[in-house]
Structure 1
Amino acid sequence: MYNHKIIEKKWQNFWEKNKSFKTTEKHNKKAYILDMFPYPSGAGLHVGHLEGYTATDIISRYKRLCGFDVLHPIGWDAFGLPAEQYALKTGNHPATFTEKNIDNFRRQLKSLGFSYDYDKEVNTTDPKFYYWTQWIFKELYKQGLAKIEEIDVNWCEGLGTVLANEEVIVIDNKKVSERGHFPVVKKPMKQWVLKITVYAEKLLEGLNDLDWPKSLKLLQTNWIGKSKGHNVNWKIKNLNEIIKTFTTRLDTIFGVSCILISPEHPLVNSLTTFNYKNSVKKYLEETKTKNELERTSLNKNKTGVFTGSYVIHPLTNEEIPIWISDYILMGHGTGAIMCVPAHDERDYEFAKKFNLSIIPVIKSDKLPYLEDGIHINSDFANDLNILDATNAIYDKLFEKKSVSKQVTYKLRDWIFSRQRYWGEPFPVLFDEDNNIYLVKELVKLPETNNIKPSGSTEGPLANIKSWMNVTINGKKYYHDTNVMPQWAGSSWYYLAYILKNNDGTYTPLDSNEAKKRFENWLPVDLYIGGQEHAVLHLLYARFWHRFLFDLGIVNTKEPFAKLINQGLILGPDGQKMSKSLGNVINPDDLVESHGADSLRVYEMFMGPLVESKAWNVSSLDGIRKWLDKIYNQFTYFMNGNIDISLTNKDLESETNILIKEVQENIEVYKFNIAISKMMVFINYLSSLNKINSTYSLKVFAILLSLFAPHLAEELLFIIKEKPIENQSWPFVEVNKIINKNISIGIQINGKVRADIEILPTWKENDIIENALKLPTIIKWIGDKKIEKTIYKENKILNFIVK
C-alpha cells in the first residue's frame, strides 16, 4: 500500500516548480481543451464538478504525450448574482469573499493534480479583463447591436433586477427566476438590449458544422425558433387600414373563421366599435394580470372578445370578424393570426368556446386535422396537397398584392442591463439630454459597501454620487447606474486565455498579435460542461464570437468545435447533489482518505462520461485497492524479479494490445472501458513471476498517467524512468501482436457450461457443430431435446433444452 499523501504532494510540488503544464507553441499541431469555468462559490467544489474536469485533463495529458501543443487553462466566472446575494445576506463585500473562494477553488484543483496552466488564469472581476468586456460592448454599440429601448422586461422583485428571457424558468405554471426561484413579472423599463436577433440565421447555420450533442443543437434550434411562412394583408371594413397576419399554413386560408389580434396590437382602439368598448376595456385589464405562460398555454379555456369590426377576405370577399385573444402575443410574428379552427388545436378550442364556424379545408374524419391531405372547400385549390395548394393560393394573392413571404424567429433580443452592483459597469456617459457617449478608457467598478438593490429602475451605483456625476470641460455627465449581466464575461473568456501574458496583462483584442494567437489556437477543440447552459452561455458566446468574426478579430465563425455534456454525479441516494438534501460529497475528505488518484480514476470508471451515475463509496474503496495492487506489482518486479535472459512474446503482445485498446477508447471518450482494459492487463501481469525488462511497466505507467498522474509519476521514478513531461505516447508495434482466436461461452438454458475457441474460417453452423462435440456439452444435454439455439456473434452460444 502506497502513501498517497506523501506521493501526491511530492509530484504536485514538482509540477509547480517545473511549470510542467506550461502552454507551449513548438509544434505544428495544437489542442485547445477547455472546461466551462466555475463560479467560485463559498461551498467549494463537490465531486460532481470533478467529472468534466477529470475528462478534460485526461485528453490534455494524452495530447501532450502525442506531441501536441496544449492549451488547458482555468479561470473564474466571478461577477454576478450569487456573490451579491451572499454579500447581502452576510454583510460581506463580494470582492473580499470572492477572492477567498477563488483561493480555495485553486487549492482544491491543484490537490487533484489537474494539469492547468495557471499562468493563463483569468478572473472576470479583474479590471484588466473586463476592460475588454467593455471594449466588445462598445463595438456592439458602434454597429447598432447595443441599444437602449423601452421594453417589457422580466422583473424579479426578489432579486431586485431585470432578467433575460433565458434566465427565467417555469415552475408550477409560474414564471420564476432560474436563480432562487423568485416570482417574475412583466414590467416596462428602459434597458440596454443586445440585438442577438440580427444573428438568428447565422446562429442557426453555424450549428450545422459543430460536433455537438444532437439534443443540445435541438435546444438551440428550437429556442431560435425559425418559421417560414407568409404575411397576408386583410383590408379592414370601413377603415382605411390593413391587418397583417403571419401564417405557416397559407393553404388553409379558405377555412378562416375570424382574425385574432393581440391585446397589445396597435389597432385595438381603432377596431373597437362603440357597442364593444366596455367589454374590450374589461378584457384588456384582465389580460394585464396574466403572465406569458398563462396566455400561451395549451389549456382549453381560451379567452377573447369581439371588437365589432370585420376584415374582407382577399379571395372570397366575405366579411371576417376581428377578435382579440390573449393567446396571441404582440412580440410573435405580426401580433395577428388568421384563426383556422379545423386545422389548429388552439384555434379549434377558441372557435368551440365562442361558437364560431369551423370550416375543414382538408379531407379528414377528425378535427382539428394537422397533417397533409386533399384540399376541399378551397375553390381553385381543391384536390391539391398542402404544397401545391400553398403555391396556387400564393399566386392568386400575389396578383392582388395581398401576400409576401416571411421568415420569423422566436428568439428575442438579449436584455443586457442589471440593477445590481457586482458586475461590469457600462463604458458610457449620458449628458443632461440623455445623449450617449462612449468612454475610451476603463470604467472601473467603484468600491462601496452600499450594494443593496434599490428596487427601482436604478441600480445601487446610483448611491455613489461622487462616481455617478462627472464634469468634463464644464459640461455635466453621469454614468449608467446599471451593470452588465454575469453572462458578459463568460461570452468571451475563452479568448482571454489566449491573450493572457505571463506578466498578467492581456494582448489587446484588436491587435495583430491577437490575430496571430487566435489563428494558432482557435477554435476550442474540446469543451466540456453542463447542458443547462444550452440557451444561456453557449448561445451568447456563439453570438459574440460570430460578431467578432464579422469584425475580423477572430478567424473562425464558431468558438467551440466539439462539445460534450457530461452526465450528473448523483448522491449516494440517487438524487442530484444539493446541500438541502445533505447528499453532497466533499472531495477534500476523499483526497485525504483515499487520495486524489483514487477519486479521479473512480469518477471515470463509474460509467460513460455522458450518463448520470450514483456515488458509491465501496466502489471507491475498490479503486484504491486496485491502485495499491499496481504499486505492489511494480515494486515486486523491481525487487529482483526482472530477468533479461527471458523472452516473453506473449507479454510483448499484451502490452501492444493494451496501448491500442486504451488509445482507441481515449479517442472516443470511453474512459471507463480504457480503465477496464488496464485492469485486465494488471491481472495478467500479476500472473507472471518474472519479466525480462521494465518496458511494459513503463508503458503502463504512461497510460496510467492520464487517470492517476501522481502514482504514475512515482512508478516511473521507481523503475528509474524520466517524469511524464519527458515521455511520449507509446507506439503500437502491430507486428508484435499475436492474433489469438476468439473464445466464447457456451450456455445450456442460460448458464455457462463450457467455452470454445472460434477458428477464423468458422461460420455459425461450424461453431454450433463443434460445440455439440464437446464432452461437457454432451454431458449437460444428454437425452434432452434442443428446442432453440441462440448465437450472438463473438459473444455467446446458448442451447435451450427440455
Structure 2
Amino acid sequence: MKFNHQVIEKKWQKRWDDERVFRIGQPKPGKKFYILDMFPYPSAAGLHVGHPKGYTATDIVARKRRMEGYEVLYPMGWDAFGLPTENFAVKVGRNPKEVAAENIKNFRRQVKSLGFSYDWSREIDTSSPAYYRWTQWLFLQLYKKGLAYRAKANVNYCPSCRTVLANEQVLDGKCERCGNPVTLRELEQWFFKITEYADRLLAGLEKIDWPERIKSMQRNWIGRSEGVEVNFRGLRKDATEKSRGAKMKIREGEFDVPVFTTRADTLLGVTAVVLSPEHPLVDSLVSASERKAVEAYRREVRDKSELERTGLKKEKTGVPLGTAAIHPLSGEQVPVWIAGYVLMGYGTGAVMMVPAHDERDFVFAKRYGLDMKFVISPPHEVSEARHEAIHHGKKRKGQDGAYTGEGILVNSGEYSGLTSVDARQKIAAALESAGRGRRQVNYHLRDWLVSRQRYWGAPIPIIYCQSCGEVPVPEKDLPVTLPDDVDFRPTGESPLSSSKSFHDVSCPKCDKPARRESDTMDTFVDSSWYFLRYTSPNEKRRPFDPRAASVWCPVDLYVGGAEHAVLHLLYARFVTMALHDLDQISFEEPMSRLRSVGLVLGEDGAKMSKSRGNVVNPDEVVEEFGADTMRLFEMFGGEFSETLQWSTKGIVGVRRFLERVAALGERAEESEAPPPDLPGRQAGAETLRLLHQTIKKVGDDIEAFKFNTAVSAMMILVNHLSARGSVSPDVFETFLKLLHPFAPHIAEELWERLGHSDLLAREKWPVFDPGLAREEQMTVVVQING
C-alpha cells in the first residue's frame, strides 16, 4: 500500500518535538543509559549518507532502551572549529563564524529530517564562547598540573594548510586533512604530556568493551618497549684518515651518546653509531674535515617529512662525522654517522647500527661499505665457522638480508652460547654494573602537540610578560574570545598575531605591557571532553556539574569511525584520566563500550567524492523514498562495522517492504478481534511461535549490533503475515513495537491508526515467551525391519 512519507514523517517529528518526548532529566538509580555518536564536523557540503548509518544504529538502541524503562541520555552537537571551515571561509571571503553558523543550521535540519530521537535541549557547539571557555579552562588545569608545556621541537608542518600537525594527524607522510606532503620544522609549540599516562592508557584497555582492532591500534601507537639505554662514549677526532678500520687519534673531548635498544643481545654486533641530523651532539662531534659535508646533508633533510626520511621503501642516506665512539663492552672504536632515518623525537635520537641483525642497518651498511658482524645464530645453526663470511662484510650463503630473529649468541666473547633472552639480562646487568647503561622502558607515543597557527580554534589562554614570563589567564577572565579584526588567511604565522586588540594586553600579575599567545588549540582538545558537557550543557559556573557527570558517565555506548582510534579516542581517554587525577570526576575511562561503523561507498563501490560523481545526497533520498526507508536500508545492507555499498535497487526494495507493512496495517485495522487463523488452530500457534522467535531475534540482534539480521527477521514475519487472509491486531501491534526503533515514523502512524492515542515511543518493549517460541516436538515410533 502506498503511503505519503513526507506528510507522515513531518507529522510525527512535530509531535515528538511538541511533547518533548526525548528530553531527559536526572535518571533513576540503576536505570540510566548514556548513548552517544561521535559528533559531526558541520561542513559546507552538508550531511552525507555515511552519517545516518551510525546515527540510525544509536537511535535504534536509544529507542529500545526507553521502551525497556531506562532514562536515556542521547544528545547531539557540533565539532565546529577546524581547518575545513576556515579554508572554506577564506575561499569565499567570509568570516568562519558566519560560515560555521550556516553549516550548523543546515546539518541540524538534515539530522532532524531523519527522525533521530536526540534530546535537542542539550545541543552543544564547540565554536561557541560558552563552550570554548571551558576548553580553555581545561588547558589551564593541565598547565597547573604540569601536563601542558611549551618547548622547541621538530614538528610536522603542512605547507598547504600552513599549520603544524600532531603526529597522529600525519598519514603516510601526508596531511590527513588535505593530503599534501608534510615537512619538519623546528618551532616553539605547546604540548600536552600524554606520555606521562602511557602505562595507564595501556592498562585501561583491558577494562573497556572496545573492538580489539581499536585496542590493538592504540597499543601499537603507544608502543611500549622494554630495553636498555646504552651509553657509547663519543670521541671528537681528527679524521684525516678515511680508510675503513684505520685508527683515529683523539683530538679533544668525550661525550656520552645514549642509545636505546630492545635487542641488547645484539650489542656486540654494533659496527657504527648513527645520530639524527638534529642531534645536539652533532656540532660537538663532527670533525673539521667532515663539517662541510655534514652541514650540507643537514640542509638536505631538514624539510623532508618523517615518511620521506623513514619510509620502508625510501632510500636510506647518511654521512660520517669523522668521529668514533667507544663500545661500552668491547672497548672497540666504531664510527659515528648521521642519517635522515634517525629522528630526534624518537628514543634518544641515536641508534646503534647492527647490520647483520637489522634489515634497515643491513641496507645502509651495504650501501656505504660499513662492517657487519654476525653475533646471533638461529637456534639450529650454532657453528661459528659458518659465519666467517659475514664477519668480513659478506652475506651468509642463502642469506638475502639480516637475520633479525632470536637465537644463540656467537662472536660475543663471554656471552657466546647464551640464548638471546639470557644474554639480554646478563648484558643489561653488566652495563648497569659498569655505569654504561640502564634498563629502561620506551614508548612510541609522543606528547600531544596542541598548537595551531590558525584562526578558527580556541585561543590558548597564556600571556607572555617580559618580567613574569608565561602567565596563565585568570579563570575569571575566560573565555579569551576570538577577535574580528583579523586577516585569517593562512601565512604560516598565527593570524591572531595580526590583531592588536587581541595581542596587546596587560600582565595579570604585574600590570606591565604583555602579549597574548597567538596560537589556537588543536580541535581534538574540544572533542576530548565534550561528552562531559552534555551531562549539564547549561552550566555557567563550571564545565559540567560533577554530580550529573558521576550519574551519567562513563558513556555506556559510543559509536563512530575507527579512523579516530589514535586521535580522538586516545585523547579523550587521556583527558578523562587527567580530570580524574584533578578530582573533577570519579571515573577514568570515558566510554565503557565502543562500536565502529563501516563506511558507506558509492553505487560504483568507490568512496564517495565529488570528483567521481558518486555522492548521494541524503536530502534527495528522504524526499523521494522517506527517512524510514533510508534508515532501514542502511541497517539492512550488511554488517554494521563493514562497508556498505549504496544501491538504488536496494532502496527501492526496502521501500516496497514498508509498503507491505502499511498494507498489513490496513488489514489489521479491519480485524476487530483475533481471526480464526487458517487452517484452524495450528496456524495460530505457528504465527505466535514465529512472532516470539522474532521478538527474541530482533532484541538479541540489536544488542549485538547485527541490525541486518534483525531486519531480515522482521521481513520473514511480514511475509508470513502477508500470506494469511487476515491479521490479528495484537500480533501486528507487537510487530510495530519491534519495527519502531528502525522505522519510527511509519510505525507511529500505523499504531495510531489501530486506535491508540498514546505514542508508540512510550510503549514497553515486547516480552519474549520461550514457551511460545519453542518449536513443536513430536515423538515418533519407528519400526525397522519389523
Q: Which residue of 2 aligns with 1:412?
A: 446
Match of 1:560 in 2: 591
The alpha carbon displacement at 1:31 in A equals 1.3
Alignment-mate amino acid for residue 631 of structure 2 = R
- Asked if structure 2 preserves the Cα contact closer than 8 Å seen for 1:499 and 1:506, the reply is no
Q: 1:324 offset after TM fit, Å?
A: 2.4
Show the counterpart of 2:698. 662
SS in 2 for 1:229: strand
Q: Does 1:52 align with 2:50?
A: no
Cα pair 1:245 1:338 within 8 Å, conserved: yes
Does structure 1 conserve the Cα–Cα contact (< 8 Å) formed by 2:428 and 2:439? no
**C-alpha distance after superposition, 1:348-374 (max 9, x if no partner):** 112222222211112246341111212
Instruction: State whether structure 2 residue 729 is matched by structure 1 residue 702.
Output: no
Deviations 1:76-119 (A, max 9, x none): 11111111111111112221221122121111111111000000
Cα distance change on mapping 1:475 and 1:182 into 2, 3 Å: same
> Match of 1:435, SS?
strand
Instruction: Decide whether aligned partners of structure 1 residues 11 and 299 sit closer, same or farther in structure 2, where only a CA change above 3 A counts.
Output: closer
Residue 689 of structure 1, CA deviation: 2.1
Q: Deviations over 1:360-406 (max 9, x none)?
A: 11224634111121221112222221101112222322321222011
Instruction: Provide the C-alpha distance between the structure 2 equivalents of 1:738 and 1:675, rounded to a whole number of angstroms.
Output: 21
Equivalent-residue separation in structure 1 for 2:754 and 2:33 (angstroms): 30
Which residue identity does 1:397 align to in structure 2? Answer: L
- Aligned residue number for residue 669 of structure 2: 638
Equivalent residues in 2 for 1:750-769, closer than 5 Å: none
Give, in whole Å, the separation in 2 of the partners of 1:633 and 1:269: 83
Match of 2:516 among 474, 479, 483: 479
Q: Do the aligned residues in 2 keep the contact of 1:302 with 1:350 (CA within 8 Å)?
A: yes
> Are 1:711 and 2:746 matched, yes or no?
yes
Q: Is structure 2 residue 348 aligned with structure 1 residue 334?
A: yes
Tell whether 2:242 aligns with 1:240.
Answer: no
| Worse overlay, 444-453 or 189-198 | 444-453
- The aligned residue for residue 21 of structure 2 is 20
Q: Is 1:589 the equivalent of 2:620?
A: yes
Q: Quick one: which amino acid aligns to residue 24 of structure 2?
A: T
Distance 1:355 1:189 in 2: 36
Aligned equivalents of 1:667 and 1:716: distance in 2?
24
Matching residue of 1:493 = 530
66-75 vs 387-396, which deviates more? 387-396
Q: Distance in 2 between matches of 1:449 and 1:617?
A: 49
Task: Report how far residue 608 of structure 1 moved.
Answer: 0.8
Give TM-score scaled by structure 1 length.
0.88
Contact kept, 8 Å, 1:509 with 1:553, in 2: the verdict is no
Q: CA contact under 8 A between 1:594 and 1:624: conserved in structure 2?
A: yes
| TM alignment of 1:498-537, pairs within 5 A | 498-501=535-538, 505-506=539-540, 508-509=542-543, 514-537=545-568
Contact 1:500 1:507 in 2 (8 A): no
1:272-283 counterparts in 2 under 5 A? 272-283=286-297
- Whole-Å separation in 2 of the counterparts to 1:490 and 1:610: 23
Say if 2:668 and 2:754, in contact at 8 Å, map to a contact too.
no
Amino acid across the alignment from 2:7? I
Tell me whether 1:361 sits opposite 2:363 in the alignment. no
**2:643 equivalent to 1:612:** yes
What corresponds to 1:229 in structure 2?
227
What residue is the counterpart of 1:465 in the other structure?
500
- Aligned partners of 1:720 and 1:656: how far apart in 2? 24
Does 1:189 find its partner at 2:226? no
How far apart in 2 are the matches of 1:74 and 1:561? Answer: 19
Q: 1:436 aligns with which of 471, 489, 509?
A: 471
Name the structure 2 match of 1:66: 68
Q: CA deviation at 1:643?
A: 4.3
Would you say 1:270 and 2:284 are equivalent positions? yes
What is the DSSP-based 3-state SS (H/G/I as helix, E as strand, rest coil) of the residue aligned with 2:260?
A: strand
Change (3 A) 1:202 1:29: same
For residues 592 and 347 of structure 1, what CA distance do their matches in structure 2 show? 61
Q: What's the counterpart of residue 437 of structure 2?
A: 403
Aligned residue for 2:452, secondary structure, equals coil
For 1:499, what is the secondary structure of its paired residue?
A: coil
Structure 1 unaligned runs (5+)? 742-758, 774-802
- Letter of the 2:219 partner, please give it: T
In 2, the alpha carbon distance for the partners of 1:241 and 1:543 equals: 37
Change in Cα spacing, 1:729 to 1:277, as seen in structure 2 (3 Å) is same
Q: What SS does the corresponding residue of 1:330 show, helix, strand or coil? A: coil
- In structure 2, the CA distance between the partners of 1:619 and 1:276, relative to structure 1 (3 Å rule), is closer
- 1:120 aligned to 2:122? yes
Taking structure 1 as reference, are residues 432 and 235 closer, same or farther at Cα in structure 2, changes over 3 Å only?
closer
Count of residues paired in the alignment: 737
Rounded to whole Å, the distance in 2 between the matches of 1:229 and 1:451 is 50
Map of 2:197 onto structure 1: 199
Cα gap change, 1:244 to 1:466, in 2 (>3 Å): closer
- How big is each residue's C-alpha offset from its partner over 1:183-240, in whole Å with a ceiling of 9 and x where there is no partner? 4322222222222222222222222222222222222222222221101122345433
* 1:273 Cα deviation after fit: 2.8
Structure 1 Cα separation of the partners of residues 665 and 313 of structure 2: 68
After superposition, the Cα gap between the structure-2 partners of 1:289 and 1:552, relative to the gap in structure 1 and judged at 3 Å, is closer
CA distance in structure 1 between the partners assigned to 2:674 and 2:151 by the alignment:
81
* Contact 1:430-1:479 within 8 A present in 2 as well: yes
- Report 1:105-254 matches (<5 A): 105-170=107-172, 175-237=173-235, 238=250, 239-254=253-268
Cα distance in 1 for partners of 2:338, 2:779 equals 75
Q: Is the 8 A contact 1:52 1:566 kept in 2?
A: yes
**Residues 675-702 of structure 1, C-alpha deviations (whole Å, 9 max, x = no match):** 11111111111222235x5221111011
- Structure 2 unmatched ranges of 5 or more: 236-249, 379-395
* Offset, 1:252: 1.0
**Which residues of 2 match residues 763-802 of structure 1 at below 5 A?**
none
Distance between the aligned counterparts of 2:44 and 2:341, measured in 1?
Answer: 44
With 582-591 and 702-711 compared, the bigger mean Cα shift is at: 582-591
Residue pair 1:27, 1:68 contacting (<8 A) in 2 also: no
| Deviation of the 1:32 alpha carbon | 1.0
Q: Cα distance 1:391–1:586, how it changes in 2: closer, same or farther (>3 A)?
A: same
1:761–1:198: structure 2 CA closer, same or farther, 3 Å change rule?
farther
1:230, 1:404 within 8 Å by CA — same for their partners in 2?
Answer: yes
Change (3 A) 1:290 1:645: closer
What is the root-mean-square deviation of aligned Cα atoms in Å? 2.4
> Structure 1 residues 97 and 242 mapped into 2: Cα distance closer, same or farther (>3 Å)?
closer
Distance (whole Å) between structure 1 residues aligned to residue 651 and residue 572 of structure 2: 37
Please state how far the C-alpha of 1:176 moved relative to its aligned partner.
3.0
> Residues of 2 paired with 1:289 and 1:101: CA distance?
36
The SS at the match of 2:766 is coil
SS of 2:460 mapped into structure 1 = coil
Equivalent-residue separation in structure 2 for 1:632 and 1:27 (angstroms): 42
Among candidates 292, 301, 320, match of residue 287 of structure 1: 301
- The CA distance in 2 between the partners of 1:225 and 1:232, in whole Å, is 20
What is the identity, as a one-letter code, of the residue corresponding to 1:390? R
Q: Tell me, in whole angstroms, the C-alpha distance in 1 between the residues paired with 2:320 and 2:79.
A: 52
Which residue number in structure 2 is paired with residue 322 of structure 1?
Answer: 336
Residue matched to 2:239: none
d(CA) in 2 for partners of 1:594, 1:431 = 62
The CA deviation string for residues 600-646 of structure 1, in whole angstroms up to 9 with x for no partner, is: 11111111101112111111111111111111112113214634677
Q: What is the rounded CA distance, in whole Å, between the counterparts of 1:556 and 1:400 in structure 2?
A: 45
Kept after mapping to 2: 8 A contact 1:340/1:347: yes
Amino acid at match of 1:593: E
- Cα distance 1:643–1:224, how it changes in 2: closer, same or farther (>3 A)? closer
CA shift digits 1:144-198 (9 cap, x unpaired): 111222222222232232222222223xxxx332222234322222222222222
